[in-house]
Chains A and B, each alone.
Chain A
Amino acid sequence: MSFDLDALAQIGARMAQGTPQAAALNFRLVSVGAEGAAMAVPWRAELVGDPDTGVMAGGVITTLLDHVCGLSVSCAVIAGGGGIMEYGMATLDLRIDYMRPAEPRREVIALARCYKLTRSIAFVRASAFEDDESNPVATAQAAFAFTGPRPAAPGVAGGAA
């Protein structure tokens, strides 16, 4: 299957640096691909949620998960031949389960996969972890609505259906 690698790189860079909140949190692009996207947030003292433990605030993980979920939708649209979306999409809902506190003073990575695209909605699953996806800090499930027309026929990232 062919997809636009330049578009993937472009959207990845835009999501990492072109968003003020992502820049304020120092988000780092880890990977973009047809199968999903990953970004990381470095630990720093001003992002701590619990001063007794030094654990990063849940809100930082929430923002990282929301952000990388959105990026994974853009990746899935590009992988489906849709190109870069020049109009928006809106988060409908975001459900996050916090399995354990993030380890203090460590970067947290979030990996998201858009597992279903329809004409108007994208469904995404994501998880956040330090270095082992099977030992998550948090997992997330999100739905996004496209707020404008999409340029190409809907498909599913990775090829099926």
Chain B
Amino acid sequence: MNRTREERLAAMLAQTPYMTFLGMTAELAGDEMTAILPFAPHLVGNVTIPALHGGVIGAFLEMTALCQLAVREPLRRQPKTIDVTIEYLRPGRAQTIYARADVRKIGRRIANVHVEAWQDHRASPVAALRGHFLLSVSDDDEAAPS
């Protein structure tokens, strides 16, 4: 099962129901991935502004981290999120939001990933996430830490 990074990313997006629920897609330029979440009415948290739900932005950043890990190397199972810290910098407006993830450290079991999301200007990020993810390194490597 030697799939290319394009195939791994496509499989992750297609096989994760929640990513379909959000409506997220991603593009690859070599090993650089940009995740894209087109605006949709069901993503709104505040109808008066209107603004994307903060939880949706956080979720999109987390899903971007998972996709980046799949792009980076073949994974037996989807990584499990250990913790995330989400910083909200600007309101997410009712338009497409983009994100890029940076795998800062990948060990045998744990990866540290930073993600940043923006809309009109990459230099004016909407939100950022830092998180740790548990990698399944073998078939008998079970679940989240208990």
Count of residues in B whose CB is under 8 Å from the partner chain: 40
Q: Mark A72-94, 1 if CB is under 8 A from B, else 0.
A: 00000000000000001011111
Q: Say how far B131's CB is from chain A's closest CB, in angstroms.
A: 9
Complex partner residue of B45 from A19, A51, A57, A99, CB under 8 angstroms = A19
Whether B83 pairs with A97 at a CB distance below 8 angstroms is yes
**Is B10 close to A, CB under 8 A?**
no
What's the nearest-Cβ distance from chain A to residue B62, in Å?
6
Shortest Cβ distance from residue B130 to the other chain A in the assembled complex, whole angstroms:
9
| Interface residue B110 (Cβ < 8 Å from any Cβ of A) | no
Beta-carbon contacts under 8 Å, B1-46 to A: 15-22, 41-46
With A46-B17, A47-B17, A59-B22 as known contacts, state yes or no: A95 contacts B144, CB within 8 Å.
no
- A57 and B16 contact, CB distance less than 8 A: yes
Question: Is the beta-carbon distance between A64 and B78 smaller than 8 angstroms?
Answer: no
The reply to whether B144 and A101 contact each other, CB–CB distance below 8 Å, is yes
Chain A residues whose CB sits within 8 angstroms of the CB of B83 once the complex forms: 95-98
Is A47 within 8 A of B87, CB to CB?
no
Any A CB within 8 A of the CB of B81: yes
B143 & A101 in contact (Cβ 8 Å cutoff)? yes
Contact present for A51 and B144 (CB under 8 Å) = no
Does B63 sit at the interface, judged by CB under 8 A? yes
Contact A50 B78 (CB under 8 A): yes
> Contacts of A160 on B, CB cut-off 8 Å?
none
From B15, B43, B63, B144, contact of A20 by CB (8 A): B43
Separation of A154 and B53 alpha carbons in the complex (Å): 26
| Contacting residues, chain A, for B82 (C-beta < 8 A) | 97-98
A58: Cβ under 8 A from any B Cβ: yes
User: In the docked arrangement, what's the CA distance between A62 and B56, Å?
Assistant: 8
Q: Are B84 and A62 in contact (CB under 8 A)?
A: yes
Given A20-B44, A97-B82, A100-B144, also A51-B15 (CB < 8 A): yes
Could you pull out 21 A-B pairs where Cβ atoms are within 8 angstroms?
A18-B47, A19-B46, A21-B42, A21-B43, A22-B53, A24-B42, A24-B43, A46-B20, A47-B18, A49-B16, A51-B15, A52-B77, A59-B18, A59-B22, A62-B59, A63-B56, A66-B58, A67-B53, A94-B58, A96-B85, A96-B86
B residues adjacent to A (C-beta < 8 A): 15-22, 41-47, 49, 53-56, 58-60, 62-63, 77-78, 80-88, 91, 143-144, 146
Closest 8 CB pairs of A and B: A59-B59, A63-B55, A57-B18, A66-B55, A24-B42, A21-B53, A20-B44, A91-B54
